[in-house]
Structure 1
């Protein structure tokens, strides 16, 4: 059977996108190659036509997931018409983001797991982290300059990830909502204190 030109790359991309969502929703170790490949309509054997190992897929999925989250937040910032940091913080610490980890930030979904991954996967995660910090820095008020701009963006991102992680971890919906609200307030105070 002959496939159209680009079929293999399209199939690979389909696997990466499905894996990226599943890893963020269920955790890396919670997703098996067999079930993932079944989800995209392929066999386990077909997996090895595209990836050398599950870790290769994890790495590519981290890159894809980070790109997705950055694209989503960049759109929120662009639509904000000023005070981009406010739109970014509110978008990140939203109920929608909390309830849909599969389409959200890789850091909030997988940072604890990244600590135990090989250095190549950590490097992919680090690159995504740096892009997110850069995005956050680009939204900060003009009065924040130099090295302070990057360090403030890093602090804001840490606050966002921590708040989202905790909001997802608790069993009480009201407490989760409170964590998101307090996280938004704290992140905004960080920025506004400059």
Structure 2
């Protein structure tokens, strides 16, 4: 059977998108290749026309998922002054992001799982964390010296990711909202303290 031009790329994209959503919701270890392929109407054997292994798929899904985080940071970096950081923090720590695990930040959903593993997936996540720190640093006040900029960017990234993890972990909606509010204030306070 002949397929239209671009069919293989489109199929690969469908697999990556479905995997990214399932990995966020269930964790990489809990998603089986057979169930993933069945979910999108393909056979398990077809998986190997696109990927060498589940780790290969996980690396690509992480790369695609991290692009959403990059885009959010790029949008914040087009603003000026304090609005850049406020826009980033408010865009990351909100109820919509908290409640949409399947389309949210890969770093917040997979950090704990990656911390328990070794290999290429952990390396890909580490690269994503480094990139997040670098991009957050790029929107911090220009008056900060390089070491302080990196330290503040790491603190802000920790506030964002840690807050989102805790806001999602609790089954108490009011506590979850308080985590989001406290995390926003803490992330902004990091930079205010350095700038003063």
TM beyond 0.5? yes
Between 8-17 and 166-175, the greater mean CA deviation after superposition: 8-17
Deviation at residue 149 of structure 1 after TM alignment: 0.8
Match of 2:39 in 1: 39
Partner Cα separation in structure 1 for residue 77 and residue 174 of structure 2 = 28
Partner Cα separation in structure 1 for residue 123 and residue 108 of structure 2 = 17
Partner secondary structure for residue 3 of structure 1: coil
Match of 1:177 in 2: 177
Match of 1:11 in 2: 11
Deviation sequence 1:148-175 (CA, Å, 0-9, x none): 1112101110111111100000010000
Give the root-mean-square deviation of aligned CA atoms. Answer: 1.5
Q: Which runs of 4+ in 1 moved over 4 A?
A: none
Match of 2:24 in 1: 24
Partner Cα separation in structure 2 for residue 174 and residue 136 of structure 1 = 28
Partner Cα separation in structure 2 for residue 46 and residue 62 of structure 1 = 21
Aligned ranges 1:129-148 → 2 under 5 Å: 129-148=129-148
Equivalent pairs, count: 193
Partner Cα separation in structure 2 for residue 144 and residue 101 of structure 1 = 34
Between 44-53 and 5-14, the greater mean CA deviation after superposition: 5-14
Unaligned runs of 5+ in 1: none
- Contact 1:69-1:103 at 8 Å conserved across structures: no
Partner secondary structure for residue 28 of structure 2: coil
- Contact 1:15-1:37 at 8 Å conserved across structures: yes
Partner Cα separation in structure 1 for residue 118 and residue 35 of structure 2 = 23
Tell me the TM-score normalised to structure 2 length: 0.92
